[in-house]
Amino acid sequence: MITFERMDNMQFKEYLKFMLPDYIRDTAEHYKLDQELATEKAQKQMEQLLPDEEQTEGQHLFHIKEGQDLAGYLWFHVSKEEKKAFLYHIYVLNAFRKRGIAQTALRFFENESKDEGADYVGLHVFGSNENAIDLYKKLGYKQASISMNKVL
């Protein structure tokens, strides 16, 4: 059985230790930034998005659990004023993949967002993440814009 548990402050800090290095690496790779600049940008972004850490209004940070085991993470924001939600991060640990957990988490995200008054949801995915793109398309997500770059 898949459940979703809100993170407490200790869990939130552990989550950032887990998530940030991966995000920094992806940012550096996709935007051709050196590690130092990518790290600086990521830290500033976290401070802006989560000024009150896991207690920041509108931000929802969850552990995804399968039974008693940690199976992944889910982070999204709901703006009641704009009636929209944005998925910042979904991650299923390797040992729990191919079990439908990501689909369940996305449906949870959609339902929670709708319950809070959102009319639509959005997300960002790096173009190289083909598995995620396929999953999002399967669940009815459509491209809203395309950002492209070219290495010179």
Average pLDDT, consecutive stretches of 10 residues, N- to C-terminus, the chain (152 residues): 97 97 91 92 95 97 97 98 97 96 97 96 89 93 84 78
Structural domain includes residue 145 = no
Query: What's the confidence (pLDDT) of residue 150?
Result: 77
**Residues 126, 71, 95, 99: what is their CA dihedral angle, to the nearest 10 degrees?**
-80
**How many CA atoms, within 13 angstroms, populate the side-chain half-sphere of residue 45?**
12
C-alpha angle 125-81-5 in degrees, rounded to nearest 5: 60
Q: What is the pTM of this model?
A: 0.91
**Could you give the CA distance from residue 17 to residue 21 in angstroms, rounded to a whole number?**
7
CATH number at residue 102: 3.40.630.30
Confirm whether 150 is domain-assigned: no
pLDDT value of position 140: 94
Q: Is residue 147 situated within a structural domain?
A: no
Domain count, the chain: 1
Q: Is residue 81 part of a domain?
A: yes
At 65 the three-state DSSP class reads strand
Nearest to 11 by CA among 65, 85, 61: 61
Residue 9: which domain range?
2-138
Q: Does residue 152 sit within a domain?
A: no
What pLDDT does 76 receive?
98
Is 46 within the bounds of a domain? Answer: yes
Residue 12, domain member (yes or no): yes
pLDDT score of 52: 97
CA distances from 12 to 15, 23, 106, 150 (A): 5, 16, 20, 35
Residue 46: per-residue pLDDT: 95
Helix (H) or strand (E) holding 34: none
In a domain, 143, yes or no: no
